[in-house]
Structure 1
């Protein structure tokens, strides 16, 4: 596993793997769940979506898989955004990487950016594939770059973990990374009042950036808005607004409504 990304060969893939491919000059990545037989289930901007009104919308459009004629894939008729594609269409000419789970804190913090690994523990492969196939049939809600994107979808399929707080960012790490860099720089700016050492300011900014990424990770244990939810309850939440927690994390109340 590299410090930037974990590039893998196609023949090493196993059903239940969370895979991704960088888009837009490595600014953003598209994520999905490999289910075997050269097929990937992933969440796209098709159907309903929430825009940001910023340049990030452009990044998301350019990060989506290129729509090219394919003799293997059949265009989906559903409008909920969860689709199944062959691996070639998913990669859209990009390089294949595998998202890592249960990484140790030191390696997580050593990563130059988010969206490549998590501290969270993955469920068994058969459970992951079953979740992805269920959501292919039932949807994953409205696409939102900050709260409900392709990385959030893949992490949910792998872990069953969901972020309850509608005002918070989602499960994924790449949004936290994109936001965390400028935020850390802004927070470190007041240090100029007490020091003119540019190196000290840079170290402080990096430390704040790493702390932000760690605290935002869904598996860090620091987020109190994370719960474990079954795919069936997720569907019920999407249709009725109700949510039944089947396996809350220690820091989360035992039930919500």
Structure 2
């Protein structure tokens, strides 16, 4: 993999890999865990890859990949109970390019990859543990889907690290979500610094600096509001209400179909 791209060949895949594929126009990426035998376990909103239940659906709907009308004999049908599903690699990619998410990257590499949702400073657990977590969650679920607090990237990162954000009032560990919010936030936070320089290049550099700093501080490998939680304990916490993730309730729209 190069510095600016995590693209890989299928021949280099191994069970336990966190993989992803960008959708149309690179608006967002869909993440999952490759578990071997050409199968990927990933987290969706009631079986729908796209569908936040908010106004964001209008933005994301254009990037929904075209689905075949012929049911796949490998993929498990979506469940209304939870959105963790098993798909074949072809269905997961939906015609897109295969990328592998990187773990334990250096701060320099992390900052060089300005787009969130491609790498993390956190260290991955051994591959057999990763596959166990993903398979366990396939059976027991990963809670309710939330685009900012509990999405497909959060699922994959948890499967790889066992790290979970313990404060449900904050954003999840998804670098992709941080990037979506981080850009506008950087512009707002850097506004007071406009008095330091009137040069447009200086203003842009300041905004980029604030954005990079916010991404770095919010990375799962740097945060202090996370803890190691086993998959079995996670299920117990979800069942007893000790861990609660709610779906977005602002500007709720009918769910989209893929």
Fold match (TM-score > 0.5): yes
Task: Work out which of the residue numbers 153, 172, 180 in structure 1 matches 2:155.
Answer: 153
Conservation of the 8 A alpha-carbon contact between 1:66 and 1:89:
no
Distance 2:13 2:83 in 1: 24
- 2:77 match: 75
Runs (5+) with no aligned partner, structure 1: 244-257
- 1:231 match: 231
Conservation of the 8 A alpha-carbon contact between 2:33 and 2:156:
yes
Distance 2:87 2:47 in 1: 17
1:37 and 2:43 correspond: no
1:203 and 2:201 correspond: no
Conservation of the 8 A alpha-carbon contact between 1:138 and 1:235:
yes
- 2:178 match: 176
- Cα-to-partner distance string for 1:60-79 (whole Å, 9 max, x where unaligned): 55556654222332424453
Superposition pairs of residues 92-103 of structure 1, within 5 angstroms: 92-103=94-105
- 1:53 match: 54
Superposition pairs of residues 6-17 of structure 1, within 5 angstroms: 6-17=6-17
Distance 1:50 1:227 in 2: 28
Quote how far apart the aligned CAs of 1:191 are: 2.6
Quote how far apart the aligned CAs of 1:152 are: 0.1
Distance 1:151 1:99 in 2: 10
Superposition pairs of residues 181-192 of structure 1, within 5 angstroms: 181-192=183-194
Count of residue pairs brought into register by the alignment: 240
TM-score under structure 1 length normalisation: 0.87
Conservation of the 8 A alpha-carbon contact between 1:45 and 1:64:
no
- Cα-to-partner distance string for 1:18-47 (whole Å, 9 max, x where unaligned): 000001311100000000010000001116
RMSD across aligned positions (CA): 2.0
Distance 1:50 1:211 in 2: 30
Distance 1:164 1:21 in 2: 28
Relative to structure 1, is the Cα distance of residues 101 and 63 closer, same or farther in structure 2, using a 3 angstrom cutoff?
farther
Distance 1:193 1:212 in 2: 21
Runs (5+) with no aligned partner, structure 2: 244-258
Q: Secondary structure at the match of 1:57?
A: helix
TM-score under structure 2 length normalisation: 0.87
Task: Work out which of the residue numbers 91, 94, 101 in structure 1 matches 2:93.
Answer: 91
